[in-house]
Structure 1
Amino acid sequence: MTKTSVEPVVVPRQARRRGLWLSVAAVVVVLAAGGFVTLRLVSPVPAPRIVQTVPRVYAIPGVPPVLPWPEAGQAAVEIDGLGRLGSSGGSRPVPIASVAKVMTAYVVLRDHPLRLDENGPTLTVSAEEAAAYPSQLASGQSLVQVVAGEVLTERQALQALLLPSANNIAHILARWDAGSSDAFVAKMNQAAAGLGMADTRYTDPSGLAPSTVSTAADQVTLGRAAMQVPVLAQIVAMPQATLPVVGPASNVNTQIGKDGIVGIKTGSTDEAGGCLLFAAEISAEGQRLRIIGAVLAPGPNMADAFEATRRLIQASSGLPHKYRAVRAGDVVATARGPMGRSTTLAATGDVDVLGWPGLAYQIDTLTTMPRRHIAAGTHVGTLKLTASATAVTTALQTTQALAPPSRWERITHG
């Protein structure tokens, strides 16, 4: 019997290496595929993308109002919190006389704030300041009498500045606050720049210098900011105050309490004519509103400024009304989720805005869309309409369900 010998199969070294690499590669592919699937499944589902489908601006329909603007000088009017009603007379900077004292008071109260029930720190009239009074009086300036060593509280000094419109007190306050009138004027100009009053330049704290100039529009900006300072608004509404040396001192703004006027400052010089920065309160649609306006040199004296102001307030008072900008159920946006799924977002309530024809409200959809299944009728955010400092909102809800992608869709589509 013949024996058959089996020779061992010798696999070439190169082939063995190739097989090993194929095995390793297979393992790597399996692991990578598993890692890929795991990564797809653990990766967060992107939130739905919101696309607003209504215009970004809602303008109240109709013809914008035209106010009875003065034939001369400049004027500007706004309803605080809503927007400007318009302006007239251009934007060339002109002298503003004692209206400049509003900025003086604003800066002093910014540097030395007072509570409504607080008198604040004291300041003492220097001998030099008292000695200047007779010559200042002879020049026809608006003043209050002061004596050397007289002590005024900050509140009393502000009352003397804003009610009888004392030029000398403007300089005394400037020295007390900043060390000198020049240093204080620099602060006034810095404050004006901070408020965006690009056409305003202060050269003295009282406004006596005709080189202190501004525009009606800039003064309305200042008036709005000043009336937000409670103590300043409180003082300019006073018919009179009692001061240490002169006793009772009346407010030279004789229109306080008329046509809803609650402040803020008169000004009159030969160069400036009659000027008035005013605030008045009105009622519209059950709401209390504040008109801020400025009239600069509608005539040579204060009577002209007062008459121009009266007409502007009366015309403005009848303008604010409510307008329906959005109705409940109106679709305002689309929510686009993964895999082409989408739903629309609708307002849950009517949105009425206060204003006048031409006033524009910005429209924004503010949403917090969840990444999970969203049922129809789910509240997912807010529709917000904004004009100046006024905002009106309503909730948003989905009109159809929006499902997230399935596990298979997440694996196959990412």
Structure 2
Amino acid sequence: MSSFRPGRLIGILVGTVVILGLGVYGPAMLLGPLPAVTASTVTPAAGTSPLTPPVLSANGASAIAVLTATTSDVSGTTSTGTTSTGTVSQAAEPIAVAGTAEALPMASIAKVVTALVVLDAKPIADGESGPVVTLTAADFQSYLDYDQVGARSVTVFADEQWTELELLQALLLGSSNNHADSVARWAFGSLDAYVEAANAWLADNGLTGSAVVDATGLGDGSAGTATDLARLAGLAATDPIVSSILERPASALADRRGVENTTSFLPEEDITGISRSYTDAAGVCFLFTAEVSDGASSFTFSGAFIGEPTYDALTADLTALMESARAGVGPLPVLAAGDEYATFESAWGDEASAVVGVSRTRYAWQAATPEAATVTLKDFATARTGANVGEVQLTVAGEELSAALKLDQAINNPGLGWRLLHPIVMITALLDQ
């Protein structure tokens, strides 16, 4: 006859609990997720490239902006990236500005605005000349009026037919005031309507410090900031119609009276003029692009100098600018292989760093200290050496660059023993997941 044994029952219960506990605890510890590593961002040591800022004019106002740059990676291949185009989002901010920040009279730079606004309203397809425009008595009278006061003009007669492209050639290459009025009236119906459209175009393109009161720039109220006008130069230089006109010789109007190319200035310094003019109120004003090249790579920038007292002063200031450009432009090791941007530590003591895997260089102007880098890291618990663990991004000379971050040494699995001996850490990692 069996009797009740309390000790035996307690032993069975304890044994059951232990077995069940081990059945749950063991798999949870051995198969559960590991805690993610702890990450800390770091700033790599500053490079040794000396800063060589642009030398700009002490007169009036001036600014330069990145237009295009030919870049190379560590293997030596090249690619060209455009940072200033005919859209607001891509027009580059100036990399250097000098003089007053106030808007100054812009003289015939206003005609560049006229050309771009007209082309926005009446675009010309590549390889074509646009519609034919029959000039009126008002166009002929404009020519007579400007010619009488000695303002730049190109001869026209009533009932002549000019293509839109020819009107723009006379406007840009010859800086013809009567053609500025003619093409503006043709495109918008009146000069008042043109002025309204032009100011809306300036605002839409982010050139909020500038405004026009006419199509010619002879009015003192047609004024702009150097910052805006350097960006305007980039918009003009990357417009396919405007750039093609500027590339043609002065005799571009084949069946007309020809125009004197008023835009060219210091081409021996690798400067391409977009607009060059003078008025009593504005002084000498110059809109341009310029290039620095080592034969394999090139760096092109746009610029504006307004309020220069004389052409001799403009010559001296542009020469100084180009000397500083040739000294400051070159291949920069922007993101060097091995540069450390983050450190990692695991709960079990393994340590590693996130480093740039492949160098990224740029043929650019080391004009200012680069902006702080933005580091994006992945969450992980273990990873092999060389694993992609994030990305670093920064902006150099107006261009956004990025590089993958690699793990410089492995974060290994800690093993079964560590898992079993650290239940709180393992359970926390399981709950977090």
Q: Please report the TM-score for the alignment, with normalisation by the length of structure 1.
A: 0.76
Paired AA for residue 54 in structure 1 = T
Distance of 1:87 and 1:394 partners within structure 2? 30
Which residue does 1:80 correspond to in 2? 67
Q: 1:284 to 1:198 in 2, by over 3 A?
A: farther
| CA shift for structure 1 position 263 | 2.5
Contact 2:59 2:307 in 1 (8 A): yes
| CA shift for structure 1 position 251 | 0.7
Distance of 1:157 and 1:364 partners within structure 2? 48
Which residue does 2:331 correspond to in 1? 322
For residues 111-156 of structure 1, give each alpha carbon's deviation from its aligned partner in whole angstroms, at most 9, with x where no partner exists. 2333442212222212222233222311222111122222222211
Distance of 2:211 and 2:286 partners within structure 1? 18
| 2:196 paired with 1:186 | yes
| 2:118 paired with 1:108 | yes
| 2:74 paired with 1:65 | no
Deviates more, 1:198-207 or 1:156-165: 198-207
| CA shift for structure 1 position 61 | 5.5
Paired AA for residue 52 in structure 1 = T
Q: 1:218 to 1:412 in 2, by over 3 A?
A: closer
Which residue does 2:257 correspond to in 1? 247
Q: 1:412 to 1:294 in 2, by over 3 A?
A: closer
Distance of 2:167 and 2:40 partners within structure 1? 57
Contact 1:337 1:404 in 2 (8 A): no
Contact 2:335 2:403 in 1 (8 A): no
SS at match of 2:259: strand
Which residue does 2:383 correspond to in 1? 374
Q: 1:174 to 1:58 in 2, by over 3 A?
A: farther
| CA shift for structure 1 position 372 | 8.4
| 2:404 paired with 1:395 | yes
Aligned with residue 101 of structure 2, among 64, 85, 91: 91
| 2:149 paired with 1:161 | no
Q: 1:133 to 1:359 in 2, by over 3 A?
A: same
CA RMSD, 1 decimal: 3.7
Contact 1:51 1:335 in 2 (8 A): yes
| CA shift for structure 1 position 160 | 0.8
Which residue does 1:258 correspond to in 2? 268
Distance of 1:223 and 1:308 partners within structure 2? 18
Distance of 1:215 and 1:289 partners within structure 2? 24
| 2:64 paired with 1:54 | no
Paired AA for residue 96 in structure 1 = M
Contact 2:356 2:406 in 1 (8 A): yes
1:330-341 aligned within 5 A:
330-334=339-343
SS at match of 2:227: helix
Which residue does 1:385 correspond to in 2? 394
SS at match of 2:197: helix
5+ long unaligned stretches in structure 2:
1-23, 70-92
| 2:320 paired with 1:311 | yes
How many residue pairs were aligned? 372
Which residue does 1:131 correspond to in 2? 141
Paired AA for residue 212 in structure 1 = S
For residues 271-304 of structure 1, give each alpha carbon's deviation from its aligned partner in whole angstroms, at most 9, with x where no partner exists. 212111111222148321113222222214x454
SS at match of 1:243: coil
Contact 2:52 2:324 in 1 (8 A): no
Which one has the largest radius of gyration? 1
Deviates more, 1:323-332 or 1:264-273: 323-332
Distance of 2:139 and 2:295 partners within structure 1? 52
Which residue does 1:363 correspond to in 2? 373
Which residue does 1:10 correspond to in 2? none
SS at match of 2:269: coil
Paired AA for residue 53 in structure 2 = P
| CA shift for structure 1 position 59 | 8.1
Q: 1:312 to 1:325 in 2, by over 3 A?
A: closer
Q: 1:105 to 1:413 in 2, by over 3 A?
A: closer
SS at match of 2:328: coil
| CA shift for structure 1 position 181 | 1.4
